[in-house]
Amino acid sequence: MKKLSLLASLALLSTSIYAQIPANAVNADPAGPGPFMVGGGSSINGSGQVNYFVENASTALPGTNGVIPAGSLEVTIGFPSQYGIANNTVPTVNNWTVVSYTTGPSGQIVLTNNNAIDAGNTEDAIVNVAGFTVVGTPQNSTMTVDRSVPIQVGNTNIANDITQVSLSVAAPLPVTLRSFNAKEQSCGIVVLNWESAKEANLNRYEVEFSAEGRDYKMIKSLDAQNAANGAKYSTSVQQNASGYYRLKMVDRDGMFEYSTVTKVNMSECGNIQLAPTVTSGNARVMGLTGGETIKVMNSIGQIMISQQARGENESIDMSRFAAGMYQVIVVRGTEQVFAGKIVKQ
């Protein structure tokens, strides 16, 4: 056992040393030979993709000491004020790790390579970009390929480390928002309002929600009015949890942009209370205004009780039901204002 442990330790040490000082990187030559628009052309029509590919221009034989190891490059891409990474997005680039980024005009993105690049090979770095301002004159996006720390890579030709791509913007996303906000209107109801400055070729607005501000899901969709001078929108959604809201604005070509994010903190739904929550007989719903509908449902969603409240307190009889968990909800008008659970013994 001791001998095996020693061999394992030596193997780990050897791997660690190799990662820090890769012996096969001596004659590597990182280069940025020239980015291009995916799909061709030199104009961003709302949004598009640019391939900022990196080449190992080493003249060494493939598989020899011209290999660029994984994690040894730092590629910095700087955008002009006319286009770049769309606002309120988290960029991902296949086969690369995003170290840092800045969205919006004049932003940038920094990448490191996930894969080794052999002599004479390239690694695609396809970045999603969006137009911010229509401009007929091509604007330069600068790409710099440098070596990352602590891994040092041979660089036999430093003259090919910086390159540029010149692109124009034909049409940014055809909507400009003047405002966007969301607030709680009543218990469990959030109202969202926004106003556009212009709309053209816009298909729809999708309302998205996230409890933590990371993973968003669409909860509602509204057709765009396509008003040349802008339009006002207002919609409501049923939501009991606090969280974050944003708009996904989708044009007729399928391109999209996100709005800013706004947070809504939901208050407790009035003073409605249910007690006791464990009973073999009656339970009481308190804090009502009168006129609400009280429903009791079993574990498969069947409504066992549906009764109208006659005052501030209402009794529900659980004695005739089988033991188990039941849900109690209170509806005021068309709004659900309370949800609770009760255990029938």
The CB density around residue 29, as the number of other CB atoms within 10 Å, is 23
pLDDT tens readout for residues 236-279: 987 767 899 999 988 876 777 788 899 998 776 567 889 999 99
Cα-Cα-Cα-Cα dihedral of 198, 41, 139, 111, to 10°?
Answer: 100
> In the CATH scheme, what is the code of domain 175-264?
2.60.40.10
**pLDDT class of 24 with cuts at 50, 70, 90:** low
Residue 195 has pLDDT above 90, yes or no: yes
Banded model confidence at residue 305, pLDDT cuts 50, 70, 90: very high
pLDDT of residue 176: 79
Q: Domain 273-344, CATH 2.60.40.1930 — does that match?
A: yes
Residues forming CATH 2.60.40.1930 domain(s) in the chain: 273-344
**Is pLDDT larger for residue 117 or for residue 8?**
117
pTM for the whole thing? 0.52
pLDDT of residue 265: 87
Domain with CATH 2.60.40.290 in the chain: 26-169
327 versus 87: the higher-pLDDT residue is: 327
Report the chain's mean pLDDT, rounded to a whole number. 85
Asked if residues 173 and 134 have their Cβ atoms less than 8 Å apart, the reply is no
Intervals of CATH 2.60.40.10 along the chain: 175-264
Mean pLDDT confidence for 79-104: 91
Q: Which CATH fold would you assign to the domain 26-169?
A: Immunoglobulin-like (2.60.40)
Work out the percent of the chain whose per-residue pLDDT is above 70. 90
Query: Is residue 11 predicted with pLDDT exceeding 50?
Result: no
